[in-house]
Amino acid sequence: MSESEVPFADYFIDWFETYKEPKVAYATALRYRATHRVLKKYFGNRLMKDISYDDYQKFLNNFGAKHSKTSVEKIHFQ
């Protein structure tokens, strides 16, 4: 299965567990897992290939409407 055929939130958590989790502090790992929950809630099971840059920007805008700029940056830059 290609990366584009995987749900976005699943790709994110797989990437985190493979590349980041072994190297980050516990508190940082918790933040990544919280990001995964936010992505899963917003995007559900939408595949990577079905999410455009505009879709992702709309997600950030939606998240930013209820959260601080710092919180949006933490989500985006992970």
CB atoms within 10 A of CB 19: 10
Checking if the pLDDT of 34 tops 80, the result is yes
Number of domains in the chain: 1
- What average pLDDT does range 30-56 have in this prediction? 97
The parent domain of residue 19 ranges over 3-76
Q: How far apart are CA 38 and CA 8, in angstroms?
A: 11
Look up the pTM and report it: 0.90
Checking if the pLDDT of 4 tops 90, the result is no
Task: Provide long-range contacts, Cβ within 8 A and 24+ apart, for 57-64.
Answer: 63/38
Give residue 22's identity as a one-letter amino acid code.
P
* Joined tokens for residue 6: 């995987």
5-27 pLDDT, tens digit each:
999 999 999 999 999 999 999 99
Q: What are phi and psi of 46, to 5 degrees?
A: -65, 135
Distance separating the N- and C-terminal Cα atoms of the chain: 24
